[in-house]
Amino acid sequence: MYKLFFSFTLMMIAAATSVAQKVEITLTAPSTVNAGQPFRVEVSANNQDVRLGSPTFEGMQVMGRMQSSNMSFINGVSSVSVSYIYTVMADKPGKYTIPAVKGSLAGTIYNSNSVTIEVVDDGSGSASAGNNNGGNGNNGGTPSSNENVFIDLTVNKLEAYVGEQIIMTASLYSRYDIVGLDNPTFPNGNGFWSKVIQNPSSISFSRKTINNKAYLYSPLQKKVLFPQKSGNLTIDPYSIDCIVSDGFGFRQAKAVAKSKAKTIKVKPLPTDGKPDGFGGAVGSFTVAASTDKTDLKLDEPLTIKITVTGSGNFQLFEAPKIDLPSAFEQFEPKSTENVNANEKGLSGNKVFSIVAIARQSGSFTIPPVKFHYFDPATKSYKTATSKELVLNVSGERDPNSVASTVISKTDIEDLGSDIRFIKQSGVKFTNGNSKFFNSFKFWMIFAFLIVIFGVVLIVRQQQIKNNANVIGMKNRRAGKTSRKRLKLANTYIEQNKKDEFYAEVLNALWGYLSDKLAIPRAELSRDNVQEKLTEKQIDSAVVQKFIDTLDTCEYEHYAPESAAHPLNEVYAMAAEAIELMETSIKA
């Protein structure tokens, strides 16, 4: 009996000792990692009842945590272990120590081992997704320091002449999987006129390797920029919120991808060699002239077309001068454009149509049209020349017809006879002894004409004064002009042309502010708009509604995802914002 009791006691002690020895807490982590790259740290205990403490990650960033358990059977005995896996990242190179993790079971404290991790800089410039400082400029896809998610803003030249086209590309790069995008900020570029080449409605990523590192890559926007003034012009930073996965699928986080601002040195066009009649064209062009007919009759209209073809700033140059013979009455030219924006810039043609009317018969020659432009490639002015045109006008005008009394806008030489035949019959004479002169009726009509003349003179002087004040005229017509632009935008709603609609609405909003505040379009910004409107004591709610409308339009115009607002709602917002502002300014 004594031996049986002693054996039982030894077995219990051995069992208890065995259980105590089986409780183990293990801390594991890689010995070497790259700066800015997430890695795993695992804390595990071989008993699920152990209450584990949290590791201390001094100088490191915890991106996520996941718990797992594992059941095993050994010699018919089951056991359940528990693990906590942390996703951690260190931004700066160096050595980091994670102290031992404590755990408790049945009042007993257990300690894990400690680990030391060496964080090295692999030279690729990796860092935290949440602390990036924007993309680099000109080499395309070259990240600067502290960037795992960034926008790379590139231009094909950092120095250009006024009016010279610049190709700009904004691209998104990420070391992480991107599961969503939000809040894009795509600036227009102060001091530039721009034309969008590519503005994708959805983002599609491909892979690109930079410095032996794999990135997800997608273009966000491509533009052709035309600087409008000389000096250092800045392209403001692009930014977009990215919803990224931490690399292991444990957790999602937000990272702001941002580019760096880009400064372009813009040189003025040289004055040396600048030809008379230069209309602002910059690029490479040819010119051709044609007419819809070469043989026409007297007083018959004629359409002359001047076609400028090439590559450059089509929207910004004037019509070339055409020297028509004085026998033709010439009207203002109208232009149409057929241009294409691609990675080489704007190319195509611009056609100027001029209506003229022949007021004399004969054969006439229109001299060659000269089109002057500045060629940035050769840094010199050049002149393109068309062929001359020959026109034959036939027919004679009846001296008694209405057409014979038409007066040309140009000096028309009278080729008729100096002395005409005097009629000898059918002539009626009036009584020279009429008493109308100096009568009451005469003085009444005379006084009435004096009054009418005075009123017309006053009105005309006021018109001259108003027309001389161009800024005042634009100010008064700002509301009417913006409503015309909105009316055009409304037609794009019916045609479901989203890009054209937003372009015209933004043109109406910014154009209204430019005319109303007398600020050139190139110098408009939200800051100076709010400052000017505050000086005019406009209600802050009205100002904010106008700014919010601008932000909504610009976001939905340039956002890579489809717009959230229906076009008719945006149209109503813009119309209401302009009407409120117009009412407030007049008040």
Q: What are 468-491's pLDDT values in tens digits? A: 565 566 666 777 788 888 888 888
Q: Which domains does the chain have, with CATH numbers?
A: 22-120 (2.60.40.680), 129-267 (2.60.40.10), 283-398 (2.60.40.740), 470-586 (1.20.120)
What is the Cα–Cα distance from 533 to 318, expressed in whole angstroms? 34
At CA 153, angle to CA 151 and CA 154, rounded to 5? 145
Instruction: Tell me which range, 155-169, 435-449, 499-513, is most confidently predicted by mean pLDDT.
Output: 155-169
Higher-confidence residue of 202 and 117: namely 117
Instruction: Tell me which range, 194-203, 344-353, 398-407, is most confidently predicted by mean pLDDT.
Output: 344-353
pLDDT of residue 368: 95
pLDDT of residue 70: 74
- Rounded to the nearest integer, the mean pLDDT of the chain is 79
Higher-confidence residue of 65 and 284: namely 284
> What is the sign of the dihedral through the CA atoms of 84, 85, 91 and 92?
positive
Predicted confidence band at 423 (pLDDT cuts at 50, 70, 90)?
A: low
Residue 234, judged by CB atoms within 10 A of its CB (0-12, 13-18, 19+), counts as middle
Least confident of 12-26, 191-205, 341-355, 568-582: 12-26
Are residues 30 and 88 in contact, defined by beta-carbon separation less than 8 angstroms? no
Asked if residue 587 has pLDDT above 70, the reply is: no
Q: What is the CA radius of gyration of the chain?
A: 40
Number of neighbouring beta carbons within 10 Å of residue 544? 11
Higher-confidence residue of 121 and 217: namely 217
Read off the pLDDT of each residue in 500-517 and give the average, rounded to a whole number.
Answer: 84
Q: What kind and span of H or E run contains 524?
A: none
pLDDT of residue 140: 47
pLDDT of residue 417: 40
Predicted confidence band at 463 (pLDDT cuts at 50, 70, 90)?
A: confident
Asked if residue 230 has pLDDT above 70, the reply is: yes
What is the Cα–Cα distance from 17 to 462, expressed in whole angstroms? 110
Least confident of 75-89, 156-170, 397-411: 397-411
pLDDT of residue 265: 95
pLDDT of residue 311: 94
pLDDT of residue 331: 83
Please choose, from the candidates 311, 379, 310, the residue with its C-alpha nearest in 3D space to the C-alpha of residue 345: 311
Asked if residue 4 has pLDDT above 80, the reply is: no
pLDDT of residue 433: 56
Q: What kind and span of H or E run contains 364?
A: strand 362-366
Asked if residue 22 has pLDDT above 90, the reply is: no
> What is the sign of the dihedral through the CA atoms of 62, 65, 69 and 70?
negative
Predicted confidence band at 564 (pLDDT cuts at 50, 70, 90)?
A: low
Please choose, from the candidates 282, 1, 77, 24, the residue with its C-alpha nearest in 3D space to the C-alpha of residue 164: 282
Chain mean position to CA 554: 8
pLDDT of residue 407: 44
Looking at the chain, the whole-number percentage of residues with pLDDT higher than 70 is: 78
What is the Cα–Cα distance from 77 to 66, expressed in whole angstroms? 27
**Gap between the terminal Cα atoms of the chain:** 112
pLDDT of residue 281: 94
Asked if residue 79 has pLDDT above 80, the reply is: no
Predicted confidence band at 76 (pLDDT cuts at 50, 70, 90)?
A: low
Asked if residue 74 has pLDDT above 80, the reply is: no
pLDDT of residue 522: 66
Read off the pLDDT of each residue in 382-396 and give the average, rounded to a whole number.
Answer: 92
Instruction: Please give, one letter per residue, the 3-state secondary structure of 386-454.
Output: CCCEEEEEECCCCCCCHHHHCCCCCCCCCCCCCCCCCCCCCCCCCCCCCCCCCCHHHHHHHHHHHHHHH
Read off the pLDDT of each residue in 42-60 and give the average, rounded to a whole number.
Answer: 87
Read off the pLDDT of each residue in 526-542 and give the average, rounded to a whole number.
Answer: 81
Q: Are strands 328-330 and 345-358 parallel, antiparallel or unpaired?
A: antiparallel
